[in-house]
Amino acid sequence: MSNITIREVSGKKGRDQFIDVMWKIYNHQEHPQWVPPLRMSVYELIDTEKNPFYKRATIQLYIAEKDGKPVGRIAAIENRAHNEFYNDKTGFFGFFECIDNQEVATLLFQTAEKWVKDRGLASMMGPMNPSTNHECGLLIRGQSQHPTIQTTWNPKYYEALHDAYGLTKAKDLVAYIVVREKGVDLPEKVKKYVQKLRGENSRIKFRDLNVKNFAGEIEACFDIYNAAWEKNWGFFPMTKEEFVFAAKDMKMIMDPRMAFIAEIDGKPAGFMLAVPDYNYIFKHIKNGRLFPTGIFKLLFGKKLLKSVRIITLGVKPEYRGSGIFALFTYEAFERAQKFGYVAGEASWILEDNVAMNKPWQDLGAPLYRRWRIYEKQV
């Protein structure tokens, strides 16, 4: 008889236990690339009282235990906003963590699947933590690479755990890396192309995001975000409240010089958000707690960060086709040079989004990490 049990958890105590599972699965000897998340950030993602995402969604947390010790976790999610937008009946799973044990993984997946099915949903998709507007995807390529801020990392064996349960690929997300080495410049053909575009599109101007008018800038970015991603696979519109909730965390960690807006004839047409890679600091906050000592590592390490992750690049549909994506990537490269950043990652990009993949490919940036979204009929 199996000595593995699945325990449903809720409330603050249950959420704290759910978060703590990660520290039971990973250790820095076996998983040197793992970056401990800030516990407060994970708590915020599953806080059904304060996170406005849960005004249109429901989540249930589960912990797997073997001989009374945590060996895995999973969340089952009903995202009503997604299903209303697509007029379908999809359930989700997320926040998956597990030891290298198929029996444990199967019980976790079965538990999430039953919860989804009991709610009248027809399929299950994930990992979503908790949605496509947050962290998502299982890392299937690039485990040896440093995981950048707000991207998921997991051991290679996680892929086999998903495959063995019968989960299949729905879509892959990819990441490109640009490294600025001494004496290395952009390809000459790229520079000529961008110079040509600048001549043809003098109406396009880039400006820093104005933190002194943060509320006004968020209004403009919110408008661009929902318009730019409307036809992207897996997208569903965020509410204004959800967008502001996410933006307040970004304000704390962003470099305004690397968060910039494109204007055409003075009107906001697109924006890019590149965030310094705080994971280089978080890796040294091993318990995931800012207090009492983690806050000092954060404050003193901030000025030493030399790489960024491009989290968001969106352009309103009516302004596409003007080479604006190429201009954005070139602008990011120039700004990185000017402000001393030596590397940047662009992620998550849908594998079949030609308009977003091509600029990075033209720059000669290698595709070096890949995440997978899985699905299964229930």
Domain ranges of the chain: 4-174, 178-368
Q: Which of 128, 137, 115, 130 is nearest to 53 (CA)?
A: 130
Instruction: Report pLDDT digits (tens) over 215-258.
Output: 888 988 998 888 887 778 998 989 999 999 998 888 888 898 89
Average pLDDT value for residue range 333-337? 85
Q: How far is CA 59 from CA 79, 87, 110, 142, 201, in A?
A: 9, 20, 16, 29, 47
Residues of the chain with pLDDT > 70, as a percent, come to 97
Q: How far apart are CA 284 and CA 35, in angstroms?
A: 8
User: Regarding the domain with residue range 4-174, which homologous superfamily does it belong to in the CATH classification?
Assistant: Gcn5-related N-acetyltransferase (GNAT) (3.40.630.30)
Which tens digits make up the pLDDT trace of 114-143?
A: 999 999 999 999 999 999 999 999 999 999
pLDDT given at position 322:
66
How many Å apart are CA 220 and CA 175, to the nearest integer? 26
The whole-angstrom separation of Cα 61 and Cα 369 is 28
Pick the CATH number of 178-368 from 3.40.50.450, 2.60.260.20, 3.40.430.10, 3.40.630.30: 3.40.630.30
| The two structure tokens encoding residue 117 | 């099915």
Instruction: Decide if pLDDT at 184 tops 70.
Output: no
H or E segment and range at residue 315: strand 307-315
Asked if residue 371 lies in contact with residue 152, where contact means CB atoms within 8 angstroms, the answer is: yes
Does the pLDDT value for residue 1 go beyond 60?
A: no
Q: What is the pLDDT of residue 192?
A: 80
Residues 359-369 have a mean pLDDT of 88
pLDDT tens for 24-65 read 999 888 999 999 999 999 999 999 999 999 999 999 999 999
Which pLDDT belongs to residue 182?
Answer: 54
Neighbouring CB atoms inside 10 A of 208's CB total 14
Instruction: State which amino acid sits at residue 123.
Output: S
On the CB side of 118, how many CA atoms lie within 13 Å of its CA?
9
Ranges 148-152, 195-199, 366-370: which has the least confidence: 195-199
Rounded average pLDDT over 209-217 = 88
- In eight-state DSSP terms, residue 145 is S
Angstrom distance (rounded) from CA 108 to CA 201: 53
The pLDDT confidence band at residue 185, using thresholds 50, 70 and 90, is low
Residue 190 has what pLDDT?
74
H/E segment holding residue 163: helix 157-165
CA distances from 237 to 39, 46, 116, 120, 354 (A): 27, 19, 22, 23, 22
Q: What is the pLDDT of residues 144-171, one digit of tens each?
A: 999 999 999 999 999 999 999 999 999 9
pTM: 0.92
**pLDDT attached to residue 199:** 74
Q: How far is CA 256 from the centre of its chain?
A: 20
68-92 pLDDT, tens digit each: 999 999 999 999 999 999 999 999 9
The dihedral built from the CA positions of residue 337, 343, 346 and 347, taken in this order, carries a sign that is: negative
| Spatial CB neighbours of 49, under 8 Å, sequence gap ≥ 6 | none
Preceding peptide of 233 cis, ω within 30°: no
- Domains 4-174 and 178-368 are alike in CATH topology: yes
pLDDT surpassing 70 at residue 94: yes
Q: Is 90 exceeded by the pLDDT of residue 186?
A: no
% of residues, the chain, pLDDT over 90: 61
Please give the Cα distance from 159 to 156 (Å, whole number): 6
Residue indicated by tokens 């890949």: 370
Per-chain mean pLDDT for the chain: 91
Between 341 and 323, the higher pLDDT residue: 341
Tell me the C-alpha distance between 110 and 161, whole Å. Answer: 13
Which positions ≥6 away from 291 have C-beta within 8 Å? none
CB-based contact 108:124 (threshold 8 Å): no
Q: What is the pLDDT of residues 314-324, one digit of tens each?
A: 888 888 776 78
